[in-house]
Structures are given as structure tokens and as C-alpha cells.
Structure 1
Amino acid sequence: MRTSSLSFSSRAFSPLPRCRACRPGFFRPLQPQKRSFQRDSKQAIPDFAFAFDIDGVLVRSAKPILHASMTLQFLQRNSIPFILLTNGGGKLESERVKDLSEKLSLSLDTSMFVQSHTPFAEMVHGEENLRDKCILVVGGEGGRCRDVAEKYGFTNVVTPGDIYAAHPEISPFSGPFKDYYRSFARPLPKPINPSSPKDSLKIDAVFVYNDARDWGLDLQVIMDVMLSHQGIMGTVSSKNGDTSLPNSGFLQDGQPRLYFSNPDLLWAADYHLSRLGQGGFCAAVGGLWQALTSSKNHPTPRLYMKVIGKPYRLTYQFAEKQLIRHRDELFHEKAPPLKKVYMVGDNPESDIKGANSYVSPHKVEWVSLLTRTGVYQDREGHRPNHEPRAIVDDVKAAVQYALKDSNWHESLE
């Protein structure tokens, strides 16, 4: 995405202390499950592992892709570690793992599963310390993303649907969604009361957890918050447009930080052409911000935000730590150092770009493999913007390539 008003940070988060209740190295909401590998002590120990995207690689919409199940079963039989690394979200990790395990006839657990918004769990404590702050959670189906945020440990979560149910005048064209919002809306902790800002709803952080359903309402609420005084709904900052201030006064008045969990512009759904994803909504936020704040008197102000998910470094760094930890549990002290991770994905702008640009602190080589089963489609004279090591038909072909590349003793037929 190229939007002059956006500021994307690949250093979105720094490691934060985990609570004592956590299993070491795992986020607090992830529940331990039965291990997915049973290893024969006589088996060879691989010095490579895999990271698989899900949508467009293992499943397309809700349907398993051909060969996906048997390919992952082969890896499990051979104790070859892998992690599922997705820019999807909107559900609890445990729920997604259960659903995918059933679809692919596999035994998986949450330690092998990273969603785009999983790192948000670390912001409950640490430097941000947002546990009891009022956060706005945008996107997803019904109130499910609120449920995820609360499982992560946030205690004061508001959705745009809650705001609309209490103040339907905030979005005049969302009437067709009225019954939908009533089905999950909760009372606001405070009303929107512009005549008494101290008694009005105040938003301390905005999180986009998943794809927006009602773009009109979500865009309106986000703009209201980012143009407000200190995140107080119903107010407008007097500093907006003040050219004597940095960024022409915009976002200089205590407005909350805006977080996006998934920069994917497109994703592979049931339709034969790729569909707009959360990255499309992010681009709409940027375009609307530019339209609302631009003036001939000053350059377009920047909309500061933090973005995580593939292709950003934090996601790959976290995935690598999970793989190393998983290998240690599986092989104990006998494991040789991890040398390669094969990133198998369908999206050149996220999976491939991220793997190609990631520099491992453990000196692990990340090898990008692009499948033809999702976003990327071969077209004559067209090459992906980010070149993978190889373009393959599907996940089975990707694993076959990796096994040969790593001189593995058993082939996948």
C-alpha cells in the first residue's frame, strides 16, 4: 500500500514482560494442549523447519486445499517442526486451532499457531499497560474480537457497534445494521457528551483486530477519535490545522495510538478473484485521513499508526522463537542448530516479502516458497513484486522442494 499519509512501523512492538501465570514464552491466553508430535528416538533430527500461511495455502475460505492434510501429516510423522503463521484473525487462537485441526484431520496446538493480532496480548502489561484503559476494538464478526481482547486481559473494551447502539446518529447510513449491532452491543462505560467532555466516553487506544464489516461506521468512529481532543468522543481538537505545531497540529493533542494487525491488501476467498482484506480498510483510513486533513496551507499531516503481521519483522521474529522453542521441546539437547525455515505462502506482498527481508538474530536462513493456490496467479509476462526462491503448484510441491533442498532422507510422494 502506498499512501503518503500513513506511517507504517516495522518496529511496532518491543518485547514486554510476561505475567507469572504465563507459560514461559507463550502468551497468557494460549491454553496448553496435547503435543502434536510423537517422535521415535531413532528418527533423524532435521535442521530445518516450516512456516505455513493458512488462507490460500492450507485452506481456501473454509475448504481444505488438495494435499494440505497429507503434507502436514507427513511432517508430523517425520518430526519435522512447523508453525502456522497467518495474517488472519478475529477468533481466539484455541478456536482457530480446533477448527483447522478438524478441517485438516490433524492434531495441532496453540503453541504452533500465530495470528496477526496475537502480539496484542503483550500490551496488557509492560510499557503500554493498557489492561484497564478503554480500548476501541474494530473489525471481526459480531463481538468476537471483543471476546479475544478480553481473553488477552483487556478489561474495558468498546466496539463501534456499542457506540452505534447508544448513539445511532453517529452513522446515519448504518441503519440496515441496527439489528446486527443490537445482537452483541453492550452499554458504554460513559455516553458521548460533548457538553461535558469530562463525562464523555474517552478512548485510550484503537485496535483493528480483523476486517471491518461496516466500513462506513468504523471509518467514521476512527476519524472521530483521531481528530478529537485526547480521545474524548464528541470533541474536536483545537490544535488541528495549527501550522505552528508539528504535523500541522494533528495528533498533537493526546489522541490515542492506532494499531493495525494485518496489512494484507488482498486475500484468497471463494471468489475466483482475490478480495480486499484488512489492508484495503487500512488504505481507506489513510485516504480518508488525507481528504479530511489536507489543506493548501500545510502539507498533508501524517497518520501515525503501528502495524504488525506479515511482512513486518516482529511477526517473523516471534515465529522463529516459537519454532526454536518447539524444536527444543521435541528434540531436547540433541537438536542441531536450526539452519533453515521454509516460508510457504500465497501472497508475495506479505509472505514472500517478509521472509526475504527478515534478518534472523539466530542466523537462520528464511527461504520463501510461493504457491499458486491463493492470491498469486501466474500471468504471462508478470512476475511477483517480491521474488521467492521458487514458485510451486501447492503446499505439497513446496514441501517436496524443501526436502530435496535440505537433503532429507525421505521424500513426499
Structure 2
Amino acid sequence: MPQRLKFGAFVAPMHKPGINPTLAMRQDLQLMEQMDQLGYDEAWIGEHHSAGTEIIASPEIFIAAAAERTKHIRLGTGVTSIAYHNPLWVADRMVQLDHMTRGRVMLGVGPGSLPTDSAMIGLNPTDTRELLSENLEIIVRLLRGETVNAQTKTHKLIDAKLQLRPYSEQLEIAVAAVASPTGPRLAGTYGLGLLSIGATLNADGFDALAHHWKVASERADHFGQTIDRSKWRLVSMFHLAETEKQAREEVRYGIEFWFRYFQEVAAFPQMAVSGNTIDQMIDFVTEAKVGVIGTAAQARAHIQRLVDQSGGFGSMLMMMHNWASPADTYQSLEIMARDVMPHFQGHAQPTLDAAERARRTREGHAAAQMQAVEHMTKKYEAELRGKK
């Protein structure tokens, strides 16, 4: 297990159709600023083009704006649907962002999650997964500085070569994994990072963790690559408050919409969620162990369970779901940063140990303090007597 577990967010984003999209995007940018100020390590921004809910079409444009508003947080595409794009331009844009952010950018790749996106450009889900594999190979080669000639289902490259090398020594790439073995296979084949989304976001996903890493490890061994658990990211759901009762009350703001989106709108059956009433939906999150609606202590237990089940990973990403109001969402982020993150980053135990040491020796030190006061009082009284 990496000594310091990183924390971040996976931001689709999720917004109710019909609300002001300009305001929604502004609030998404404010979220990046808040997370930067609270000390989060990274945020991954999605690409979607249909269904009216996940409204960012270009994570690259969003990242460029967010990078100018933040100082430390790393920003990734979560994910770029590379089946939709010319792989040469994907690589070229990411190199530009790498320079503009001074190395704070990451490339997350996937086939595209919404069939309503790919259908508009004449691709089916099988096409997008095959193109993911072909295009990722091209992108990896381009970022290595190679000249590429290739013909895919959608694009032809002739002596394609990037005109800039990345700002980073090695621009980080991570492959999304939901249900199929496609993501882990590609991560292992090229020695890339892994974004396990479905592994913790559906009722059966908890058991998929070991499968994801097993597939990635087998492919890495076969191709002579090295994969690193510190580059493995798990996505789960959290809303935290001071009490579980308060947390349950706060998510009534928007949890029903989130569930209905995956139950009735998005043709994305890998996100299998159940519940007819709000209470059933809230119960499902906890009972299926796909997330936490509760306290910091419950969040720590959930994350530790994922650590134990997986054998160790590098980053815990919260799926940003808009279950609660912006104000309550900020409070949840603050509780996570204040009371959960230190326990997995080595910062909690030293202060707990220091407080315990002081507690054990308090009586003796208190007596010494009183003796010192008494000593100086007597010394002062003696000085006064000597002046008379």
C-alpha cells in the first residue's frame, strides 16, 4: 500500500436537466477551487455529449479554466472518449495542456460511456471499445516521440508526429475500467494507470477489484511492463455530515434524480442501482457497500475495507453526484479533508501519539509547573525582604 493515499474527485459532472447550465459550469469550477484550498490531490473531469445531465463536452477546455483558478490540484480528463477523436489531436491537446498547467494534467481514456453519444457519430459500443485499443496505442507512441502511420475505422494518419514534447518527463495516462476487462487489459499492456469506476459503483463491483488488478498484472507480465498500485484509482460515493441522520437528510436534496438518471435515462447498465423511494436509495448505498452516507468514522471504515479488499491502491476518488446542496457538499468535502484524509496519509497518528504522551505525563509536568511558580514566588519575596 502506498504510504500516502491520495484523495480526489471524479466529476462527470451531474446536473439536473432544465437548470441554468452557465451557473452549473461556474459551480463546477468553484468546486475545483474549493478542493484545491482543502488540500485534495486531483480531480478528473468527464466528457459527455447527450442525455442532458453530464454537460461538459470538452474536459480539456474545463481543465484549462480550472488550472488558472487553482495552484496545486492535479487535473485529469475523466475520461476523454478517445474513440470519438483523432488520436493525433488528443495527444497534441494534452501536450499543450501539460505545458499550460506546468505538469498538473493527466490523460484519462475510455471508450465513452453513453451510447447516445457514439450513436450520433455512427459508432456502436463494440466499435468504441475496439477504437479505444487502436487509438490508445497511437497516443502512447506519439507521446514517446514516434512517427506514426496508421489507419483506423475513423481516421488515417500519415507520418504523424507531435511538434512539441510534453512538459512532464512522462505525461500520466490512466485507463477507465467499469465492467469489461478492456480497461485493465490496456493498462497492463502499456504499463499505464487504472481508473476503477464500476468496481465500487455497482452492487457486484466490490468483488471486481481483485479481477481488475489480476487482469492488469497478467497483461503487464506478458508485455514486459510494470504497473504500479500508486497509479490505481478507485471511485466511490460519499456524503458526510456530523451525524448519519444529518447526512441522510441532506442527500434528499438530489439523490432521487441521480438514481433515476441511471435507472431510467442513461443506457449504462453497468451502473446498477436500485431503490424506489428516497429512503430505499439511501439504504442501498450503505447496504450494497458502494459508498457512505454518514460520518467520517463510517467513511474511514469504508475506505479501509477497500484497501483490504484490493490489496492497496493509490487514490480514493469521490464521485461528485450533487446529492446535496452546494453548501452541504462543501461541508462534506471539508469533513473528508479534516477527519478522513489524515488517517490514510500518515498525518493523524503523530498528533494522536503526541496528545497521548502529554496526557500520560501531565500530572508530573503540572506538579513541576507549580513548583516552579512557588520557587519564583519565594525568590521574589526574598528579594523584597532584602531591600528593606
TM-score (norm 2): 0.31
If each structure's helix is expressed as a fraction of its own residues, which one has the higher value?
Answer: 2
The structure with the largest alpha-carbon Rg is 2
TM-score (norm 1): 0.30
